[in-house]
């Protein structure tokens, strides 16, 4: 992994230095390299002081191998290009389209008014009597502040979050699933990522001399591979079946776990539903099979359900793992399960506010105590993020003054996302040398691309994964920034990329048109 | 450590169950135990399902031993008592005073208007034309939103934070120290705790078969002991000299590091200035000696300077480690240093908003790249926390419309804290069997208490640290919640507690009066 990573970085520095020589002021090279991440080569190219105490040789080895492709060298290069354009550089395009990350507002989605009005009032309660704010917004703000010590959002909360918000989350889950949810099983966190890391951390424990292992889908969201690497655990990948719409087959799960015999100890099974980067929505039957498999194999279930509001396919429906295992009854209903949710996705897309929750059920009580203890040193997740989550799980109800606007805004976002999901898959399938499964849910398409032998050859020469070479070519020639499939994992010999469906419709049309042209030229160029 | 922890928990459960039997509804016992942390026994007392996959036996062993005394069993019991009072329980007091945690707003401190007005505008920009908001607030909000992708605080930022805020932090440091600060050395984080963990994480690396070790003051803020335990590093404590106003002597630093010979590899030296829990402010000469020591011993410096605005003693002044080592010139000015700051303390006390920064200087460039990579998987610190930090490092300036109110609010908080600091130390020193160093800075007093042999005996019988027994007695009899010295570390055979100086003046007077009475009765009772 790491060698590919360095190769990617290497590839960028060739551009970087070239551009720097052309344009950059003396401060420019550090300027647009150092303010971004994951960039050893580039960093190394900046003057280095000898005799440092902390060096690559004595740095945490897990940090060295850990990767997070969503913010890798391609994105660093994309930001560099943006700065070059600002400075008047001539390019075959006039803007960079960042389709690499599920960053809704960055791509022009507008915030939900109800959420932002509540945030304004809890931040500055002097506005509480302002007629600009509907009564239900004021009531919510008062209720949330009443849950804060000293009535201020500036106070620490209990480490698992404010009680009233945890209760609202539990009510949301009960309403969603039709099964009880205990508010004390709800742990608020700073975005789902924070909750996922906190749960994975509990599983770091060698068992009978074997490394603890986590089963993750391939392709997967790289937070998992990054965290597994950081925690020095073993990643066990199971392949989603592209030919079956990225479906999850039990045969493959069994194949994957059987291959671990004596090598490591699988402790948990990660399922991302709706899928990231694949966009599939699991059927209830599929989820039942997965739950049975987890029970047979003694695996804790980690259900990444942050896209539960993002289902576009008319024949698909979101089924939570909690609901399905409750329906199945004992022993399945006793499965140790953690389900993760976020305020960053859905129709609200509040990525920057860092709100999320984990519902953790069937944990042994003393284990749960240790879990709560383990998060206590960080004091609490951001209060305003917690309050954002509250608005998501308890939106305005019919009859309340904010309801009509809320529903109008929510439906507009989801309707537009559904149209874009269809447009993206359709366009990619119309491009010779590309095939794309339907985007049933989430915010991404993960098309397979045909890469000619000549392109693969050049990539090898440049020490790049072939799809990374493709992605760099796309970026440099069209300004479109995507993430190569190798950042998520893919079947050997196949090549993909992940693009979000988040650019606003007009921009998305332009992007797809550019994509078409680029791909045809790329194939021609590499015949 | 862990055994004492369990003992503490044990001690609480005896109360818990007793109270539960007296008052609690069936749901009550779980109700007020489970919504808090660090509570194995209590948890275990709740019905337990057999055959869980995740048990104490296969849980992350570092999580098991990790402790965070600031939110331990005492605080769980305090919250339980609050619920009992709500339900009409008769006590020798009518409210719990939580002097255990530096939670300013929770103790009645009011937010700084400028900060909250900026937060309201960036959250809900529709207010931008509202005459209620001064022009400088609007300008700041516009500037900050211009730094956000898509102009929304709901977008992800670069992992180290928004560029304009990092630049403002660097300007603040330059102004504070009179030496240049590179905005690319500024890493924004979700409270200082987040930044401290991110830097400590880099140092996890066995060296020549020796565990990496971190030198921390004793007494220390337990985030350090907790994180060192979580990361399976070695804690090397150096004692602050209580007889010298909690001063830091080089002899003791040498004693501490010499004791590590062949046992572990000290990599970094943590200094907390102003001190937590001790409240001392280091002299410049003392800081110079520390920097020399770190250089001689090859230690990276971690300067916890979150209380840099909280200096009350007229003869003391805050000197940043960055400034002092720059003054000293090479080789000292090349020391690898991380300095941490927060928006949770100072005069603003915005604990719940989770804003902070680390200035990390003299890092090898490729190491810095790895550092930036390591934080990227968590995407970014909360944007509203970042913006709060911006207001702290770039407050209104003379002539700007918000200036007068800002200065009035800031000075009122700091003046009152200074008075409380004096009142607290003075009162404790007036109590027979207590002695307390001057609270020169920060937000805490750490008095030494005399405990009679009989009290120590009873504590032993109850498997409690003697000062923990004292703290539980104080809580049950007076409603005052403090943290026993054993949670921070102290010289063998001495006993202390940490109390904040944060209760508002009137309440603080009441608290100290109650303290006096309790202590005298405690001594009588244990004669």
pLDDT computed for residue A511 by the predictor: 96
pLDDT computed for residue A390 by the predictor: 98
The answer to whether B299 contacts A53, with C-beta atoms less than 8 Å apart, is yes
The answer to whether B205 contacts A377, with C-beta atoms less than 8 Å apart, is no
A209: which 2 tokens? 């001399």
Distance from CA of A123 to the nearest CA of B (A): 6
- Chain B contact set for A149 (CB, 8 A): 98, 103, 105-106
Strand B356-361 to B337-342 pairing: antiparallel
- Chain B contact set for A370 (CB, 8 A): 40, 56, 59, 63-64
B368 contact A CB<8A: yes
**SS3 category, A156:** coil
The answer to whether A193 contacts B378, with C-beta atoms less than 8 Å apart, is yes
- Closest residue to A190, CB basis, from B121, B366, B382: B382
For residue range A98-125, list pLDDT tens digits in order.
999 999 999 999 999 999 999 999 999 9
Give the global pTM.
0.91
The answer to whether A352 contacts B107, with C-beta atoms less than 8 Å apart, is no
A369 contact B CB<8A: yes
- Mean pLDDT of successive 10-residue stretches along chain A, which has 527 residues: 45 41 31 32 36 94 90 89 94 95 96 98 98 97 98 97 98 98 98 97 96 97 95 97 94 97 97 97 97 97 98 96 98 97 98 98 96 93 98 98 98 97 97 96 97 96 96 97 95 96 96 96 94
Residues of chain B with pLDDT under 50: 1-49
B352 contact A CB<8A: yes
Instruction: Please state whether B342 falls in left (phi above 0), alpha (psi between -120 and 50) or beta.
Output: beta
pLDDT computed for residue B71 by the predictor: 81
For residue A482, which phi and psi values (nearest 5 degrees)? -125, 180
- Closest residue to B46, CB basis, from A51, A205, A365: A365
Q: Which residue has the tokens 């300036």?
A: B397
CA–CA separation, A215 vs A225, rounded Å? 10
* ipTM for the predicted complex: 0.91
pLDDT computed for residue A5 by the predictor: 45
Q: Which residue has the tokens 């509990």?
A: A202
3 state SS for B120-153: HHHHCHHHHHCCCCCHHHHHHHHHHHHCCHHHCC
In the stretch 67-86 of chain B, residues with CB closer than 8 A to chain A read 67-68, 71
Can you spell out the DSSP letters for A407-473?
Answer: HHHHHHHHHHHHHHHHHHHHHHHTSTTEE-----BTTEE--EE---HHHHHHHHHTT--HHHHHHHH
* Residue pair A322/A173 in contact by the 8 Å Cβ criterion: yes
CA–CA separation, B54 vs A35, rounded Å? 41
In the stretch 111-150 of chain A, residues with CB closer than 8 A to chain B read 111, 116-117, 119-121, 123-124, 126-127, 130, 132, 148-150
B426: which 2 tokens? 């003075």
User: Which candidate, B244, B246, B346, places its Cα nearest to that of B305?
Assistant: B346
- Chain A contact set for B366 (CB, 8 A): 40, 43-44, 48, 56
DSSP state letter for B181 = -
CA–CA separation, B34 vs A7, rounded Å? 49
| Residues linked to residue A238 through DSSP beta bridges, in sequence order | A217
For residue range B82-92, list pLDDT tens digits in order.
999 999 999 99
| Residues linked to residue A265 through DSSP beta bridges, in sequence order | A212
The answer to whether A160 contacts B37, with C-beta atoms less than 8 Å apart, is yes
Provide CB contacts within 8 A for B140, sequence distance 6+: B118, B390, B391, B394
A430 contact B CB<8A: no
The answer to whether A382 contacts B53, with C-beta atoms less than 8 Å apart, is no
B450: which 2 tokens? 């005399």
User: Which candidate, A105, A23, A103, places its Cα nearest to that of A483?
Assistant: A103
Q: Which residue has the tokens 């740095």?
A: A59
Torsion on CA atoms B141, B144, B150, B152, rounded to nearest 10: -60
B8 contact A CB<8A: no
- Closest residue to B300, CB basis, from A53, A366, A379: A53
CA–CA separation, A27 vs B395, rounded Å? 28
In the stretch 448-477 of chain B, residues with CB closer than 8 A to chain A read none
CA–CA separation, B91 vs B85, rounded Å? 8
For residue A27, which phi and psi values (nearest 5 degrees)? -85, -5
pLDDT computed for residue B50 by the predictor: 52
CA atoms within 13 A on the CB side of A234: 20
Distance from CA of A299 to the nearest CA of B (A): 7
B189: which 2 tokens? 């984080």
- Chain B contact set for A133 (CB, 8 A): none
Q: Which residue has the tokens 């020639």?
A: A477
């Amino acid at each position: 992994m790491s060698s590919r990573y360095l190769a990617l970085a290497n590839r960028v520095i060739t551009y970087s230095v070239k551009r720097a020589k052309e344009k950059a002021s003396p401060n420019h090279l550090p300027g647009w390299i150092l303010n971004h991440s994951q960039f050893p080569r580039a960093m190394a190219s900046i003057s280095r002081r000898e005799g440092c105490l902390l060096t690559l040789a004595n740095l945490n080895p897990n940090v060295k191998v850990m990767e997070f492709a969503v913010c890798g060298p391609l994105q660093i290069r994309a930001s560099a290009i943006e700065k070059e354009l600002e400075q008047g550089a001539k390019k075959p395009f006039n803007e960079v389209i960042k389709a690499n990350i599920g960053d809704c507002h960055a791509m022009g989605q507008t915030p939900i008014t109800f959420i932002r009005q509540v945030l304004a009032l809890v931040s500055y309660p002097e506005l509480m009597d302002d007629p600009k704010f509907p009564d239900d917004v004021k009531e919510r703000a008062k209720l949330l502040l009443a849950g804060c010590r000293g009535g201020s959002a500036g106070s620490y909360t209990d480490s698992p979050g404010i009680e009233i918000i945890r209760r609202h989350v539990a009510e949301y889950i009960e309403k969603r699933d039709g099964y009880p949810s205990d508010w004390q099983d709800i742990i608020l966190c700073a975005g789902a990522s924070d909750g996922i890391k906190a749960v994975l951390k509990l599983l770091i424990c060698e068992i009978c001399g074997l490394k603890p292992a986590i089963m993750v889908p391939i392709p997967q969201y790289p937070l998992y591979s990054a965290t597994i690497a950081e925690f020095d655990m073993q990643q066990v990948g199971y392949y989603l079946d592209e030919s079956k719409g990225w479906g999850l087959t039990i045969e493959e799960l069994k194949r994957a776990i059987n291959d671990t015999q004596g090598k490591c100890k699988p402790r948990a099974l990660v399922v991302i539903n709706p899928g990231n980067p694949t966009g599939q929505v699991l059927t209830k039957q599929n989820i039942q099979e997965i739950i049975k498999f987890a029970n047979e194999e003694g695996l804790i279930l980690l259900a990444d359900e942050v896209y539960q509001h993002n289902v576009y396919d008319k024949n698909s429906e979101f089924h939570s793992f909690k609901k399905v295992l409750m329906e199945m009854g004992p022993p399945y209903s006793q499965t140790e399960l953690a389900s993760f949710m976020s305020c960053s996705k859905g129709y609200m897309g509040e990525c920057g506010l860092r709100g999320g929750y984990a519902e953790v059920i069937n944990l042994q009580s003393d284990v749960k105590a240790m879990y709560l203890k383990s998060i206590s040193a960080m004091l609490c997740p951001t209060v305003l993020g917690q309050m954002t989550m509250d608005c998501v799980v308890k939106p305005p109800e019919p009859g309340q003054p904010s309801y009509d606007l809320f529903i109008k805004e929510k439906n507009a976002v989801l309707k537009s996302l559904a149209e874009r999901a269809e447009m993206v898959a359709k366009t990619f399938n119309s491009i010779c040398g590309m095939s794309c499964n339907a985007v049933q849910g989430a915010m991404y398409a993960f098309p397979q691309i045909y890469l000619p032998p000549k392109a693969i050859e050049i990539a090898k020469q440049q020490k790049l994964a072939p799809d990374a070479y493709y992605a760099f070519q796309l970026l440099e020639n069209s300004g479109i920034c995507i993430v190569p499939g190798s950042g998520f994992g893919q079947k050997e010999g196949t090549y993909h990329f992940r693009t979000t469906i988040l650019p606003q419709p007009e921009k998305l049309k332009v992007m797809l048109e550019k994509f078409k042209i680029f791909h045809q030229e790329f194939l021609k160029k590499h015949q």
